[in-house]
Amino acid sequence: MLWTACLWGINIPIVKHVTNQFDGWVFNAFRLTLAMLTLGICVWLETRMRPASRRRVSWWQVLVFAFISSLFYQLMFMKGITLTTAGNTALIMAAMPMWTAVLNLIFVRERLLAITWFGLVVTFLGTVIVTVQDGKISFSSEFLLGNLYILCASIAWAGGTVMSRPMLDSITPLRLAFYSSLVCLPFHFLIASSEISQSWAQALEPSVLAAIVFSGVFSTGLAYAAWHYGVRQLGASHAAVYQNAVTLVAVLGGWLWVGEQPLLSQILGGALIIAGLLMMRKGR
């Protein structure tokens, strides 16, 4: 889960930067194609090394999950990130573990210990501190629509996480990620179809191509499979809290690679994030 958080923490500013100069829908279609191919190769290798489970898979649940996590979430996220700031995106997505815990309580009846809820709150507060102090937060009305799209994406991802947990007893994380990508990829190409023919030359530019490869192969392909594996091992609520580490990774990356000195308040926020994760672990 920490590895997944690292990939997603790097991915947010990359997607934001590329979509400022390249069509977001085309970028999404290209990166999801690479994600699907990556997952397909991994599923093929998994099949050769480990036979498929004989437990019956509910394919209608797989389809519903695919449309929630691989279509609706992707559309809301890509539309939202083009209409708001990277900081706003990180802040709103930080509430996703809370949404996951609430939905898990309502639909799965999974009750969490008091220390677990406290860990969720502490991690969320730490994320808010880190994000707000980053200086990329804006409450301007011009970002309202984009913020609403990201909020919908956050709730959709939480819903998909809760839904996937019982499914992962009968299907492997790699197969679930692959099937959901395979089912929804044609819809993404349909949405981007009017711009694809005009975007090939720009897509082959080194910076754009590198972003497509990283976002597709790693932060969407392998990271999605790793996320599903974490959900199966930890449960939806405990896995979702690692989403908050994404913001911490983004700040650490800015410090290590760009030389952005973290503020004292951000160090405090990072400590709260880690403390919340430890409380969640203690709650398990």
- Report whether 116 contacts 237 (CB < 8 A): yes
Give residue 224's pLDDT: 87
Q: With bands split at pLDDT 50, 70 and 90, how would you rate the model's confidence at 262?
A: low
- Residues 75-112: tens digit of each pLDDT: 998 888 888 877 777 778 878 888 888 888 888 777 77
CB 134 within 8 A of CB 87: yes
Closest CA to 150 of 71, 82, 99: 82
Q: Residues 18-39: pLDDT tens digits?
A: 888 888 899 989 999 999 999 9
pLDDT of residue 65: 93
pTM above 0.75, yes or no: yes
CA distance 50 to 118: 39
The three state secondary structure string of 188-256 is HHHHHHHHHCCCHHHHCCHHHHHHHHHHHHHHHHHHHHHHHHHHHHHCHHHHHHHHHHHHHHHHHHHHH
List the one residue out of 138, 166, 119, 74 whose CA is nearest residue 272: 119
Q: In terms of pLDDT, which residue wins out, 1 or 66? A: 66
Mean pLDDT, residues 226-232 taken together: 88
3-state helix, strand, coil in the chain (%, to 5): 85, 0, 15
Extract long-range pairs of 58-61: CB within 8 Å, 24+ residues apart.
58/167, 58/170, 61/163, 61/167
Provide the pLDDT confidence category of residue 250 given band limits of 50, 70 and 90.
Answer: low
CA–CA gap between residue 136 and residue 132 (Å, rounded): 7
What mean pLDDT, rounded, does the chain reach?
Answer: 84
Mean pLDDT of 43-58: 78
| Higher-pLDDT residue of 255, 9 | 9
Count structural domains, the chain: 1
Return the pLDDT at 254: 58
Range of the domain at 272: 2-49+57-283
Ramachandran sector of residue 114 (left: φ over 0; alpha: ψ -120 to 50; beta: rest): alpha
If pLDDT is split at 50, 70 and 90, which confidence band does 169 have?
A: confident
Q: Three-state SS for 100?
A: helix
* Segment 189-206 mean pLDDT: 89
